[in-house]
Structure 1
Amino acid sequence: MYNQNIHGSTMNDSVGSSCCAQGLQTYKDVKEYYGKYLKSSKDLKTNACVAPSRPLPKHIRDALKDVHEDVSSRYYGCGLVVPECLENCSILDLGSGSGRDCYMLSKLVGQKGHVTGIDMTDEQVEVSKKYIDYHMKKFGFQQANVDFVQGYIENLHSVQIKDKSCDIIISNCVINLSPDKRAVLREAYRVLKDGGEMYFSDVYSNKPVSEELKKNRLLWGECLSGALYWKDLLQISEEIGFSRPRLVTSSLITVDNQELQEILSDYSFVSATYRLFRLPQGTVNENCQVIYNGGITGCEEELQFDANFTFREGEIVVVDEELGAILKNSRLADEFLFRPSEKGGPSSKCQPKKEVISDPFQLAQEARNQPQSPSSGSCCGPKGCC
């Protein structure tokens, strides 16, 4: 059921008649910046989308090694968006660029899975399409399980991506480049299956970005002036119907350029990874205890679900109502045992001792104040993400 394309063959370059003039100019500027100006990650002027590498699970390292160098060199992401439990899944990459993440994921989902990348930049889509045959031969697949379309992430209808056709949506430092974040999240919700997940890294601001700053073409292209205020993400996603965003990782972004520092003034930015789930209508939320069965590739003994919950094989964890519903109704359901929470029942070493953190600036500051062990959920570092 997963190896069928999730879209038709029609490509439409329109973003809809409702887009304002400023929005259309933003599309034009971003396409020019990423299509004609940037030839590699070395051309970026800030470190918002580049950071030192960090240890990764072996299966991800192996998949990345197989990606063609020409594709990898054009990678401008702000986090490594690789959720767990991917086998046989249908995945959509919003703003797929040169296709690095898509090719990595195409190996991880296997021959029965499928990955589609959508990007509005002609030059990037051309590069990504060029290496389909190369990667399929590299992975030993008999037929292609990845494809790329030119289009806009605010209007997935234009490339005929169907309702409830995706198990997972990923996005890597792209939503901040969109002038209409609400439309992006609305479309993502539409095409996700019940129980489906949007797992994405992006840049967020500590307060709403001014209209004046939004007009700075360089800072928009560098992922800063288009950043969403983090509290607006929580509000918009819940209004659309998603479960409450689950914060996974967060890192403070530093801007070393003196001129840009003066322009940004008292603005602060983080690179953060969130998880959003589309739960079935009528889902009942109940407190429960869960036990991770173990064995997920790359997380055989320990699964870091988000910044607040880490599940170790065989260990009892008391989870909040919404997280219980997410685990029961998503692709992760078979990876856990569930039982009702009971007073006087077994205690859990992993039971949270503090409020659930949703503020990426709070998490980033805590990460700075104390050493953290490497996580497979993201590759974010103190100066952004790789």
Structure 2
Amino acid sequence: MSGSRMATDNEKIFDSVKDYYGKVLNKTEDLKTPACISGQKVMPKHVKEAMSQVHEEVAARFYGCGLVIPEKLEGMHILDLGSGTGYDCFTLSKLVGQNGFVTGIDMTDEQLKIARDYIDYHTEKFGYNTANVKFVQGYIEKLTEAGIPENSQDIIISNCVVNLSPDKKSVISEAYKVLKAGGELYFSDVYADREVSESARKHEVLWGECISGALWWKELYHLAEEIGFSPPRLVRASEIPIEREDFKQVLGDARFVSATYRLFKLPQETQPARQVIYKGEITGFPDQLNFDHQNVFLTGDIVGVDEELSTILSASRFADEFEFQPVSKHKKDTRNNCCADKDMEVDPFDYIADRLKRGETMDKACCSQKCC
């Protein structure tokens, strides 16, 4: 496809998405599939309290597909891709505190207006002297053009938005540029178990509903490696049922999940495999830290981690939350290395099936001295 043809097709998608989220959808109940309201999980008390303080008009226009509130947020600079009316941004505004800052970027005028209208409300509600949140007009494929400086963000989140982009490689590449070294892309999105057909991709409603623009889950790993991110680490996943017969006819046998992944921008210099001890000092997580679906750190427990996870923990905002020790050579401690050499390319559909087979109703994993 020629560059001019691709640019024209992308513009059509942008216009369609703007119209869908700016004019067609007025509230959550207007959605025609569960894609943008699935994938939620039990939330820590401090996150629930922050979410409950978001203005009801902002909350009524929330179209996210999962919880995108990672751990350790105080004082962080966070960018929300496709921030909509600001629901996630205002929640994060409360959680980062007065010394943190949250930036939302969106291309839809109608949603940006609502978000900006409630900045002062939330600043006063949270008791801040000055606003610690702002909203930028722009495209998530062109963050630097929109004025987001390179190497400026500690965390980037996105909630069911990357699938709406016709150029996902540019989204992830731009995210990499604006993250600080050790920064994290923590996002929830919709993924397919195969390449979605071209005819389905041209279905405007299914695209606007976050379905037909879904990335084949394996492609995320390829893009992350190509751009320079650490391999995606699956945090949680839940299947999205397609119930309307007319949608099933368009989509064929394709299946979809809502999945949350975390990717890190790591330094070239890696750390050796080590033993780590979680201190239990992160707000809301005094007893354990569920880092991803394979790694759960219990407070005070000794856990062996491989080179990659060792590097992630020491290069990121989590560095002060762990004690780091060399791997013990004593035979009795070798079981601590239970997470080493795990295959990070996890099929989210297999993960869900395995979890259900075990009778689990929630994401649960353990990789510590007590359960390996």
> Does TM, normalized by the shorter one, top 0.5?
yes
Task: Give yes or no for the alignment of 1:118 onto 2:105.
Answer: yes
Partner of 1:306: 292
Cα distance, 1:287 vs structure 2: 1.3
Q: CA separation in 2, counterparts of 1:219 and 1:273? A: 21
Comparing 325-334 and 348-357, the one that deviates more: 348-357
Deviation at 1:362, TM superposition (A): 1.6
Between the aligned residues of both structures, percent identity stands at: 52
More helix by share: 2
TM-score (norm 1): 0.89
Superposed CA deviations along residues 257-284 of structure 1, whole A, max 9, x for unmatched, are 111112211101110000000012x322
The reply on whether 1:297 has 2:283 as its aligned counterpart is yes
Deviation at 1:52, TM superposition (A): 8.2
Q: Which amino acid aligns with 2:358?
A: Q
Hey, which bits of structure 1, 4+ residues long, moved more than 4 A?
A: 16-19, 347-350, 373-377
Structure 1 residue 335, shift from structure 2 partner: 0.4
Q: Residues 60 and 372 from structure 1, CA distance in 2 versus in 1: closer, same or farther, beyond 3 angstroms?
A: farther
What TM-score comes out, normalization by structure 2 length? 0.93
Counterparts of 1:76-95 in structure 2 under 5 Å?
Answer: 76-95=63-82
Structure 2 residue 301 is the aligned partner of structure 1 residue 315: yes
Give distance in 2, aligned partners of 1:52 and 1:308.
Answer: 18
* Distance in 1 separating the partners of 2:364 and 2:288: 10
Distance 1:359 1:264 in 2: 20
Instruction: Indicate the structure whose relative CO is greater, using CA pairs within 8 Å and at least 6 residues apart.
Output: 1
Answer yes or no: is the 8 Å Cα contact 2:144–2:150 preserved in 1. Answer: no
Check 1:53–1:155 CA distance in 2 against 1; reply closer, same or farther (3 A cut): closer
RMSD: 2.1
Residue 48 in 1 paired to residue 15 in 2?
Answer: no
Is the CA contact (8 Å cut-off) linking 2:84 and 2:111 kept in structure 1? yes
Cα gap change, 1:110/1:375 in structure 2, threshold over 3 Å: closer, same or farther?
farther
Cross-structure match for 2:324: 338
2:314 corresponds to which of 328, 342, 358: 328
Gaps of 5+ in 2: 366-372
Partner of 2:369: none
Partner of 1:276: 263
Ranges in structure 1 where 5+ consecutive residues have no aligned partner: 1-15, 378-386
CA distance in 2, matches of 1:335, 1:218: 44
The offset of 1:373, in angstroms, is 6.5
Match of 1:251 in 2: 238
- Amino acid aligned to 2:288: E
- Residues 296 and 367 of structure 1: CA distance in aligned 2, closer, same or farther (over 3 Å): same
CA shift in 2, pair 1:350/1:256, >3 Å: farther
Distance 2:76 2:348 in 1: 29
For the residue of structure 1 that corresponds to 2:157, the secondary structure is strand
Residue of structure 1 equivalent to 2:61:
74
Residue identity in the other structure for 2:104: G
Give the whole-Å Cα distance in 2 for the aligned partners of 1:140 and 1:225.
Answer: 42
